[in-house]
Structure formats: structure tokens, C-alpha cells
Amino acid sequence: MFASGIVLSSPDEYQNNIIIPRSAVLWTGKRSIVYVKQPDDDEPVFKIREIGLGPMLGESYIVTDGLSEDEEIVTSGTFSVDAAAQLEGKHSMMNP
């Protein structure tokens, strides 16, 4: 037998949390990290930051801590940003 269905959920405990695309997150085993754009720079400069994640919502994650609403993050090409940081000897997912 085969059945198909739709499951709807409303995670009330995460009502006011930020939601980010799955592509923005890099995994280092136990840590989840994103690259945050630094304000007030002439050129785009990104700094690595560890964040806490809640459940996955399709192609997105709920952020439980580590980000605030007014911050910009890398959402596409995150691995390339991390590779460039590694080549420059800066903090990266493999070199905290």
C-alpha cells in the first residue's frame, strides 16, 4: 500500500525567530556557522560566526541564537567565502 499526505505544523516556540536559507549554513561537525557582513566597510568584509539552529523548514532553518534581525549574511557561495578566508589565513570553518 502507498499513501501520501501533507503534514502541517506550527512551531509556536519559534514564532519570533529569524529564518535563513539552508545554503547559508556551513557545518563543522557539531558547529553551525554563517558569514556575517561587517557594517561600515568600504568593501564587503565577512566575519565567521557560530549560530544555534532550530528545526529545518523545507529549505530553511530557524535560528535560535547568534544572529540579529539587522545583520546581513552570505546566503549563496558560502563555501567559496570560507575557502578564500582559509587561503588568506583568516578564521574559517576549519581554522577557528
Give me the tens of pLDDT residue by residue for the chain, a chain 96 residues long. Answer: 899 988 777 777 777 889 999 999 988 888 899 988 888 777 778 888 999 998 888 899 999 999 998 899 988 888 787 888 877 777 777 666
Residues 6+ apart with CB under 8 A from 52: 32, 63, 64, 65, 66
The predicted pLDDT at position 8 comes to 74
Residue 8 lies in a domain: no
Residue 6 lies in a domain: no
Per the structure, the complete domain to which residue 35 belongs is given by 17-87
Instruction: Report the domain count for the chain.
Output: 1
Residue 55: CA count within 13 A, CB half-sphere: 9
CATH number at residue 30: 2.40.420.20
What does residue 59 show for φ and ψ, rounded to 5 degrees? -100, 25
Quick check: is 10 in a domain? no
Strand order in the sheet with 18-21: 18-21, 60-65, 46-57, 32-37, 26-27
Structural domain contains residue 52: yes
Task: Identify whether 67 is part of a domain.
Answer: yes
Q: Which three cell numbers stand for residue 25?
A: 549554513
